[in-house]
Structure 1
Amino acid sequence: MQETIDTLLTGVARKDAAAFRALYDQAAPKLLGVALRILKRRESAEDVVQDVFVKLWNGQASFDPALGSGFAFLATITRNRALDILRRRSEQSAGDETDMDAVMDLMPSPEAVAADRSDLRALLACMDGLADGPRRAILSAYVDGAQGSEIAAALAVPIGTVKSWIHRGLASLRECLGR
């Protein structure tokens, strides 16, 4: 039986090497996709995924199930690390003329970080309200970057069903979020 990412994250926090390996096997390919979409360079994206797993193992990132799903936690860490690298690239390309004010402008304010977390919690709560099929289809499309035919094959449903699930699911999310 395949363990859930949430359970595996708990095992990793206890330094369970088997849980770490299982978590890597399950999550690394998807996290690589997240990093690749941001960085556009495979080598950099692989470095990001490695950094995420090193942080997990060293206890520098701890999962709190009350704040959302394990995969959302991992995807957020991956996204933030990839964006850090992207910022660093732009700073390096600016050369020595970059002053501290310009660097600080790239960093989100504490208010923006708090708002992002609040938005994430609201989105996760709304996602939990969706049926399993639509939720999995939306996550596959928007987090994993899977195409409709790939989602249909993975969920063993017709592609029309996948399209309907995504369309109706997104409408439900918009309504739930009040947008």
Structure 2
Amino acid sequence: MEDRRTALKIALAKVASGDEAAMGILYDQTNRVLYGSILRIVRSRGRAEEILQDVYMKIWRRAGTYRSDKGNPITWLCAIARNSAIDVVRREGRMTEIGDDVLENFADDAKPADDWLCDMEDQEALRKCIETLRSDHRTSIRLAYFEGYTQSELANHIGVPIGTIKSWISRGLMGLKGCLGG
């Protein structure tokens, strides 16, 4: 795990200085994880592939802004991918080309498909903390942050007022912050 993290940090540093070969290495090491993260949100293979291309363009341009003292490189990369996918869903709407059953079977050579976060250590700590939340808070946070639902979509999906969703997410995030020591 530490070797992979170190390799990604080195590759990102080289990408920041314009090293195209390092970009290829970074792509080879991360494309399946990022694609899976995007696919879970947009639910369309074609859209996910397009977004993935855009994500790597963003990484190429922004590699110099990555700060290793602020977090793990894969977490930073996944945040770019996730935010890009959510932006597309908010702009163009959610598609249902791919069902949850397909997403569950989407394999990643590095990690099981159930892992929602890109970094295993962060994922395990977060998983434990999420399990301590009330059921409604936990569900709202999972759908919003791991599947890219907007608050309006959540309200419609769950069948509660948007104010309730906002409250659940806010309280849940405060609980997570306390649990994670933030």
TM-score, scaled relative to structure 2: 0.52
- Residue 139 to residue 64, structure 1, CA distance change in 2 (3 Å): farther
Partner of 1:38: 41
- How far has the Cα of 1:21 moved from its partner? 0.4
Which deviates further from its counterpart, 60-69 or 42-51? 60-69
Higher relative contact order (CA 8 A, sep 6+): 2
For structure 1, the residue ranges without an aligned partner over 5 or more in a row are 92-135, 145-150, 152-165
Structure 1 residues 82 and 172: alpha-carbon distance in aligned structure 2, compared to 1, 3 A threshold: closer
Instruction: Give the alignment of 1:120-159 within 5 angstroms.
Output: 141-143=115-117
Aligned counterpart, 1:170: 128
Give the match's secondary structure for 2:93: helix
Instruction: Go from structure 1 to structure 2 and tell me whether the alpha carbon gap of 1:14 and 1:88 turns closer, same or farther (over 3 Å shift).
Output: same
Partner of 2:170: none
Answer with 1 or 2: which has the greater Rg. 1
Q: Is the contact made by 1:55 and 1:61 (CA closer than 8 Å) also made in structure 2?
A: no
Q: Which residue of 1 aligns with 2:15?
A: 12
| Aligned Cα root-mean-square deviation (Å) | 3.8
Match of 2:80 in 1: 77
Specify every segment of 5 or more residues in structure 2 that has no aligned partner in the other structure, as ranges. 95-109, 133-174
Aligned partner of 1:143: which letter? L
The reply to whether residue 22 of structure 1 matches residue 47 of structure 2 is no
Q: Which runs of 4+ in 1 moved over 4 A?
A: 136-140, 171-177
